[in-house]
Amino acid sequence: MSDAPAYPVTSVNRVRRLHERGSYDHATVHAILDAAALCHIAYVVDGQPYCTPTLFWREGERLYWHGSSASRMLSGQSGGEPVCLTVSHLDSLVLARSGFNHSVDYRSAMAFGRARIVDDEHEKARALAAMIDRFYPGRWATLRPATQQEIKATRVIGMTIEQASAKVRAKGIGDDEADVALPIWAERIPIRTVVGAPEPCPRLAAGVERPETLAGYREGRRLDDALTQAHATTFPG
């Protein structure tokens, strides 16, 4: 049995279907989270379920996301309500020789906890900086300082990960052995989200150069690799 840190396995986060694809260790779950920019947060407000996409970031065992102070999502997460935060990466389309065996390769993670608005002024100020630096290391310190109105208009939510699981398929074509000889085309189509060519603002002040800290976002690079590098730079260890 591995001694690597792992999340407790309960009826909430246990991977039931194709359980062999499931992982609960911190390293696997965190790697999938850190390679993503966008998550979906599921929660219930007055008996009505919602699932909201938003940017997020991880700091150790804490997840953070933000939004407008007028947001229904954030208003519904003020008192420690249970939420489920999920991310997924589509890695390939898989065409098999039967419809049943068509599939996709993917990486996904689900994290469970109780969401609370960050009210402490120091933590909120630090989180607002981290919101930028998580994607663009060191950028916050170079920006025009946030105004009080901007800070007031932004809410930050924090959640300690209580339970989590990852599920990964990297199998490629998984036909039944009896189908392999059939005269039917089968293939795996890799899917990648890559960074495009930067498009500088046409109204840049004279002499302003692209910062070296953005070098990780170079044309043609995989986005998940760039995001993973940015996270590791801002939150080493």
CATH number for the domain that contains residue 145: 2.30.110.10
pLDDT attached to residue 206? 95
pLDDT attached to residue 2? 62
Residue 40 belongs to some domain of the structure: yes
Residue 10 belongs to some domain of the structure: no
Query: Which residue stretches of the chain have pLDDT < 50?
Result: none
Tokens of 207: 């002499």
Give the residue from 88, 111, 130, 89 showing the smallest Cα distance to 230: 130
Whole-angstrom CA distances from 171 to 34, 48, 86 are 23, 37, 22
Q: The domain containing residue 100 runs over which residues? A: 19-191
Q: If DSSP codes are grouped into helix, strand and coil, which group holds residue 15?
A: coil
The model's pTM is: 0.91
Which amino acid, residue 143? L
Calpha distance 149→147 (Å, rounded) = 5
pLDDT digit string, tens, across residues 117-155: 998 888 888 999 999 999 999 999 999 998 888 888 888
Residue 51 belongs to some domain of the structure: yes
Residue 179 belongs to some domain of the structure: yes
> Which residue in this structure is represented by tokens 């989200």?
193
pLDDT attached to residue 237? 74
Number of folded domains that form the chain: 1
pLDDT attached to residue 28? 96
pLDDT attached to residue 38? 96
Angle between helices 223-234 and 26-34 (to 10 degrees): 110
Residue 7 belongs to some domain of the structure: no
